[in-house]
Structure 1
C-alpha cells in the first residue's frame, strides 16, 4: 500500500496511490481517504497508533471509491510532519571514506529540521550562498508509535512503513565545521 498526502502545501489530505485505478481505465489514481472517512485527517502518530492502516485497507476494499487522477494532484510528503527527523551519517563505508575519516563503529545520529520536508516534485529552496548542494537518496523508516530503547527483536513492531528521502546537504558548510 502506498500512502500519499496530496493537495496544496500545508493543506495536504491523506490518500493512497493506485498504480492502476479501474475507475480511471487503469491509469494511476489517488484514493481520497478523507472523502471516504472524514475522521482520518492525516497520516500522523494518532493514525498509526489507532489502527489507521487497517481502516485504510478496508477503504481500499469498498466498491464505491473516491479516486482522483494522479496526474492532476500535487503530492506532498507521505506522512504528516513528524516530531523529529533523525538521520544516520557515515553509515556506508564508501561514504565515510569520501570524508577521509575513519569509519565509525556506531552510527552518527543527527537531526534535520522537520520544516525542510517537501513533496517529491516540490522545488528545493536553497539559500543564495550555497554554491553546491549534494543530494543523496536515502531510505526513511517511519516509526508509527512512541518508543524508546527498543530491543532489536522488537524493532519491526514499531515500524509503520518506509519511504524515500532526498537528503540535501551543503558539503562546503559541512566540511567547514
Structure 2
C-alpha cells in the first residue's frame, strides 16, 4: 500500500493510492493516519480494503507528511562512502546518529524555507525507514519485522549552522521545513529489498545526486538493530538512512548552496518524487 495525507496544513486527511495511481479517500473509515495504524495487524486490515469502493480524492490537493504524530526523526550521517569522502571525513566504524526536530517536518512539495542568516543551505536525498512496532534491543535478524514501510526524505541541512557554529549538528538540521517527507509511505511488503533502490536529486534541472542504496555502509537491518540498542524505537519514528555523494558541500570546484528561487526535485525508485521551491524565511514571515 501507499498511504498518504492530503489537504491544507493542519487539516490533512488520510488517503491511499490505488493500483491506477488515483487517490482514494480513507477519511470515510479513519479520522487520521496515526502511528498506531502502522502495527502489523492494523496494516494487514488496511491491505484487505477494496480500494475501488472508497471515494476518489478530486482535484490536486496539497500532500502532507504521510503520517501524523511522528515522535522522532533519527538520522544517520556519513552512511555512504562517497559522501564521507566528499565531506572530507573517514567512513565511520559505527553509525553516526543525530536527531532532527519534528517541527522540521513538512509535506513533500512544500517550500524549503531558507533560514535567516543562512548562506549554506544544502540538499540530501535519503531513504526513510518508518517503524511499525516498539523496538528495543532487537537483533539484526529480527529487525525488519519492526519496519512498517519506507518513504522519501530530503534531509535539508544548513552547513554553516551545522559545522561552524559550535556544538552538535542539530542546529543545521532542525530548521522549519528541513524534513520534507513523502509523497507517501510505501508499506514493507511492496519493497522487496531496501538495499536495491536508486535515488537521485536535481537542482534547477541539473542532476546533483545519483546514488543507490546498495552503497549504504550500514544497511537497514543493521541500522534498526543498532539504534535500538541506544533508544527504543516507537511506531511512527523515522530513520533517515544517509545520503550519497553530490550534496552542495561537495560540489567542485567549490561548494554550491541553495538560494531563494531554486527548485529541488528528488526521488527514490518505487517511493515517489518530491519537488520544492526555495523561499526566504523573511518572505514567509511577511505573508
Scaled to the shorter chain, the TM-score interval is: 0.7 to 0.9
Pairing partner for 1:33 from 26, 37, 40: 26
CA distance in 1: counterparts of 2:132 and 2:126, whole angstroms: 19
CA distance in 1: counterparts of 2:97 and 2:47, whole angstroms: 34
After superposing the two structures, state which structure 1 stretch, 151-160 or 72-81, moved more: 72-81
1:19 positional shift: 5.6
Larger relative CO (CA 8 A, sep 6+): 1 or 2?
A: 2
**Stretches of structure 1 lacking an aligned partner (at least 5 in a row):** 21-27
* TM-score normalized with structure 1 length: 0.85
> Runs (4+) of structure 1 moved beyond 3 Å?
none
8 Å CA contact 1:81, 1:114 repeated in 2: no
Residue 3 (structure 1) aligns with? 3
CA distance in 1: counterparts of 2:108 and 2:52, whole angstroms: 30
8 Å CA contact 1:81, 1:117 repeated in 2: no
8 Å CA contact 1:3, 1:14 repeated in 2: yes
Residue 52 (structure 1) aligns with? 42
State the Cα deviation string for residues 115-137 of structure 1 (Å, max 9, x = none). 11111111122212112211111
Structure with more helix by fraction: 1
Pairing partner for 1:133 from 121, 133, 151: 121
Let me know the Cα RMSD of the aligned residues. Answer: 1.7
State the Cα deviation string for residues 2-43 of structure 1 (Å, max 9, x = none). 1111111122111112362xxxxxxx42111111x1xx2322
For the pair 1:86 / 2:74, whether they are aligned, the reply is: yes
Q: Number of residues paired by the alignment?
A: 165
Residue 108 (structure 2) aligns with? 120
1:50 positional shift: 6.8
**Stretches of structure 2 lacking an aligned partner (at least 5 in a row):** 167-287
Change (3 A) 1:168 1:85: same
